[in-house]
Amino acid sequence: MSKGSGGLRKFYPADSLVSPRFTGPYTFARLPHSRDLEGVDTLFIGIPFDGGVVFRPGTRFGPAAVRQASLLLRLYNPYLKVKPFDILNVADFGDISVVPSSIESTYQKISETVGTVIDSGVTPLVCGGDHSISLPVLKEVSRRHGRLALIHIDAHLDMVDQHFSQKYTHGTVFRRAYEEGLIDPSRSVHVGIRGSLFSEDEISETESLGFDVITMDSIEKRGIETVCGEIRRKVGEGATYLSFDIDACDPAYAPGTGTPEVGGLTSREALKLLRGLASLEFVGFDLVEVSPPYDYGEITAVLAANLIYEFISLLALSKK
């Protein structure tokens, strides 16, 4: 039990004025670890799986690094003017026991855990792992909420049909989600797209399916605020899922990732982008592709932890 603004609370960060931040066990934002969902609104779930990557691995160590980098998070978000943990009971589930050698078995494990979470009315806050883990999460969230609006922030579209004749990789995840009817392209948008492409019509093909594609160039030209307005209009009302691939941010701000692309968002722009999405109806989040072996001085993990704090703040605002 810790003391929140409204008195003693079971699900509340440890008081860092009483116990030092570097005293473990390490959980996200020093929240209680719990697998009992009674009274929980939002659950931080680590999915340490990197069997879906096509280039550099290492994201299996993502959740642990993000937890450690989250120890400095404080109670009040002055930008969104909210004390998220006073509104939401948030707990840290720990990690799902993935199967390192099998994406199918891992998907099964993710479905079981996230399915239980969803059926309990708890909002999942997932930390990968590579981007392939988003598919079973989306499937469970959409089972409860119907076809979802997707806000996908990433350097890459992740709309490839196959890699090495495989249907399930971190680069095919939203092609599958689209084919399986989990997301509604008329309410969905890919944001931050840049870098060299497989073909000249990769972006126009995605647009022809109904998605909006907001490239990094377009963000640079029009500014974050204009882009946020466009995203909010496209998504409109209804259940919305946000998937944030850390490689949306420039390698200068997020070097610890598997497929870096130069010319991306600064950490300030990424925070502003999320804060500009307040008022939407979020039903699930993921933050993926943090690969600690490629990180330096926790640059990437610290950014990821702060982005997840913004997710929680957005969710708290929508419940307020």
* Residue with token string 């390192």: 100
- Which residue number, 50 or 245, has a Cβ lying nearer to Mn ion? 245
Report the nearest approach of Mn ion to the CB of residue 111 (Å): 20
Contact status: 156 vs Mn ion (CB under 5 A): yes
With respect to Mn ion, which residue has the nearer C-beta, 32 or 260? 260
The residue (of 31 and 308) whose beta carbon lies closer to Mn ion is: 308
Binding segment toward Mn ion, per CB under 5 A, in 70-78, 146-154, 209-217, 299-307:
146-154
Q: Is the Cα dihedral 33, 35, 41, 47 positive or negative?
A: positive
Nearest distance from C-beta of residue 63 to Mn ion, angstroms: 17
Binding of Mn ion at residue 194 (CB under 5 A)? no
When binding is defined by CB under 5 A, the residue of 50, 245, 269, 295 that contacts Mn ion is: 245
Q: How far is the CB of 154 from Mn ion (least distance, A)?
A: 4
Beta bridge partners of 126: 45, 286
| Paired residues of 33 in beta bridges | 92
> For 169-215, where are the alpha helices, taking DSSP H only?
173-179, 202-208
Site for Mn ion in 119-138 (CB under 5 A): 131
Q: Which stretch binds Mn ion (CB under 5 A): 58-66, 153-161, 196-204, 209-217?
A: 153-161
E strands, the chain, are: 2-4, 7-9, 42-47, 90-95, 123-128, 149-153, 189-193, 212-215, 239-245, 281-288
Describe the strand order of the beta sheet including 90-95 as a list of residue ranges.
90-95, 42-47, 123-128, 281-288, 239-245, 149-153, 189-193, 212-215
Number of residues that bind Mn ion (CB under 5 A): 7
Q: Least Å distance between CB 158 and Mn ion?
A: 4
The one-letter code for the residue type at 3 is K
Nearer to Mn ion by Cβ, of 158 and 250: the residue is 158
247 binds Mn ion (CB under 5 A): yes
* CA 52/CA 168 separation, integer angstroms: 7
Q: Which is nearer to Mn ion, 124 or 264 (CB)?
A: 264
Is position 158 an interface residue for Mn ion (rule: CB under 5 A)?
yes
Looking at 41, 140, 154, 295, which residue binds Mn ion (CB under 5 A)?
154
> CA separation (Å) from 25 to 14, 48, 298?
11, 18, 19
Count Cβ atoms within 10 A of the Cβ of residue 75 and give its class: 0-12 exposed, 13-18 middle, 19 or more buried.
middle
* Contacts of Mn ion in 3-22 (CB under 5 A): none
Pick the closer one to Mn ion by CB: 180 or 237. 180
Interacting residues toward Mn ion by CB under 5 A: 131, 154-156, 158, 245, 247
